[in-house]
Amino acid sequence: MPFTAADDRYESIDYARVGRSGLKLPKISLGIWNNFGYDRPLDTQRAIIRRAFDLGVTHVDIANNYGPPPGSAESNFGTIFAQDLAPYRDELIVSSKAGYTMWEGPYQDLGSRKYLLSSLDASLKRTGLDYFDIFYSHRPDPGTPIEETMGALASAVYSGKALYVGVSNYSPEQTRAAEAALAVHNVPLTIHQPRYNMFDRHIEDGLFPVLDDLGMGSIVFSPLAQGLLTDRYLEGIPSDSRAANSPFLGASNITDEYLGRVRGLNSIAQSRGQSVAQLALSWVLRIPQVTSALIGASSVAQLENNLAALDFDNLTDDEITAIDEFAVDRTGART
């Protein structure tokens, strides 16, 4: 049956302006990093994306290397888009990125003009889109002049293949340099995508004031610390969990120190009637410079649970103070 979006899809979620731009994003966006490759059933992916859109999640975030294998998340999204979402293209924000390894040879990662623009074309072909709403430089390239990298992003805008451009994983100083390099082309640097969560607070040391100064917004990834900021590991390491199976998270992350802190956060969450994951999302969204929090989902139920974080009151000053005892940078990090 053809997909028809829910009539009330814009009634259950708030949207925030990205810095001083005209672009708005839902307060929670859907990222398709780990659960949308060829190793997962397409029907499950389709159900998650359709349900997200029905709940007002208009922004889907991809990158060229998402999978596994690299490129498969874009291809799967393209299939789902063609089947279900093409009639709603003007209601969607779809972003992609380039910066990590994609193919063989010397032109397959980082920030050269050659790589960024060829990757952009390949990503558009895989998704079946005419343009991306946002196209990012996924990481800084110390071997390429920032003027070249940002010049490539400007070309993406002038060619009509991207409406807005952003950076991800850039330091405050690199962000200022990127903004200045784009300004030469009269193209604004609209958005930054950094990692931020209760256990990874490094961007508090300088990035937020830079975003204010430059009129940028941000969308933070890994707000749940790849599952560490959930109740998933309170009673051990399940065999189907990331800590048991993911190359990015392992059993060595589940330390006694980590467990003590997540139990403390769980107590605060329960006092608010929330899950740990919902508390973690409320916490990142307390920052005015955070336009949106980027979540993944392996099921419709997980998606709905995380989106329910928006149904709770904002954190009070006393609750934020209580959280700070347990929201310690580098908790659960591998040494």
CATH of the domain at 148: 3.20.20.100
Q: Is the pLDDT of residue 236 over 80?
A: no
Q: Spell out the alpha helix ranges (H) of 215-299.
A: 242-245, 256-272, 276-284
Q: Is the pLDDT of residue 113 over 90?
A: yes
Strand 59-61 and strand 28-31: the pairing is parallel
Q: Is the pLDDT of residue 223 over 50?
A: yes
Domain for residue 205, yes or no?
no
Average model confidence (pLDDT) across the chain = 94
Domain for residue 56, yes or no?
yes
Helix, coil or strand: residue 281: helix
Domain for residue 251, yes or no?
no
**CB neighbour list of residue 33: distance below 8 Å, 6 or more residues apart:** 63, 66, 73, 221, 296
From the list 29, 300, 235, 330, the residue with the least C-alpha distance to 243 is 235
Q: Is the pLDDT of residue 244 over 50?
A: no
- Is residue 278 within 8 A of residue 250, CB to CB? The reply is no
Domain coverage including residue 142:
23-193
Number of structural domains, the chain? 1
Domain for residue 52, yes or no?
yes
Residue 327 banded pLDDT, cuts 50, 70, 90: very high
Helix, coil or strand: residue 191: strand
Domain for residue 138, yes or no?
yes
* Run of H or E residues at 79: helix 72-80
Strand 132-137 and strand 162-168: the pairing is parallel
Domain for residue 215, yes or no?
no
Cα separations (Å) of 268 from 166, 272, 274, 309, 322?
35, 7, 8, 14, 8
- Is residue 109 within 8 A of residue 115, CB to CB? The reply is yes
**pTM for the full predicted model:** 0.94
Q: Which of 67-76, 240-249, 323-332 has the lowest mean pLDDT?
A: 240-249
Domain for residue 51, yes or no?
yes
Domain for residue 140, yes or no?
yes
Mean pLDDT of 298-302: 96
Dump pLDDT digits (tens) for 173-200: 999 999 999 999 999 999 999 999 999 9
In this predicted structure, what is the pLDDT of residue 168? 98
**CB neighbour list of residue 134: distance below 8 Å, 6 or more residues apart:** 93, 94, 95, 96, 162, 163, 164, 165, 166, 190, 191
In this predicted structure, what is the pLDDT of residue 43? 97
